[in-house]
Amino acid sequence: MSPVQAIPSDVESLVLELQSHPVNTNEFFRTFESRKLRHQQLRAFIGQYHYFCFHFVKVLEGLLYHTPIHEMEMRTELAKTLYSELGSGSPDRVHIRQLERFASVIGLRQQDLQCTVPIPEVTTYLDTLRRLYLDSGHLTALGAALAVETTAASEFKYFVPGLERYEQFQPGELEFFTLHLAEEQHHGNWLVEAVRKTARSEDDLQHVAVGARETADAWLAFWAGIHRMVFDANPTDSHE
Ligand SMILES: [Fe+2]
């Protein structure tokens, strides 16, 4: 992130720092919004993205389990985020199922998704989140979760207008993406609340910042990998 790893004065300034991180405007997002991908490129992207989203929720479950028993506010806010990811009590609205419905529209069946081999950048990012969420202390983990949920809002601001360029998609088929435009704002707000109530000193906030900054940098590397895989391995034809 920034070359100077200063202690943020409060959670709001850390959120502003995360919102201005280059991951929010990375090259893959900008390209996705500005031009239609070839069918194979879109399938390659969704395969990797699905792999990440599918495994991420399990890591989030692990974080909830690893959160200390007395950190009631942190547990509460994480539980809200997890409940939302899992469809708020409705199996049909589990977010990964919504993404799988979109995947089926572009010809990716359940068995295709199960055969996805993650690119190294996807594996590395999941490994980074596992380490930060499960093995780095609850304040660093909380910072990582804050970064995940704060920066997650950005991708949908590019993906939704990008996908609306494709005439073949009905509005209902983009539900996963349109829903997340609002949903990620809620998740971000819940995590801010969790930090506010859990980080009780400057030292605590520094641990939160360490997790947040590493995560935002790792998320940028994830998207650089997606860009490489989608456009280098599946080059766009010159006439497109
Ligand atoms: Fe989600």
Token couple for 60: 């989030």
* Cβ neighbours of 167 (radius 10 Å): 6
Alpha carbon of 202 to ligand 1 centroid (Å): 31
**What pLDDT, on the 0 to 100 scale, is given for residue 1?**
47
Alpha carbon of 149 to ligand 1 centroid (Å): 10
pLDDT tens figures, 182-228 = 888 889 999 999 999 999 999 999 999 999 999 999 999 999 999 99
- DSSP state for residue 231 in the 8-state scheme: I
Alpha carbon of 140 to ligand 1 centroid (Å): 22
Given a contact cutoff of 8 angstroms between Cβ atoms, the answer to whether 133 and 55 are in contact is no
Residue with tokens 């993906």: 159
Cα–Cα nearest to 226, from 134, 132, 116, 142? 116
Average pLDDT over residues 119-146: 98
Alpha carbon of 52 to ligand 1 centroid (Å): 11
* Class for the domain spanning 11-232: mainly alpha
Alpha carbon of 240 to ligand 1 centroid (Å): 32
Mean pLDDT computed over every residue of the chain = 93
* CA-derived radius of gyration, the chain: 18
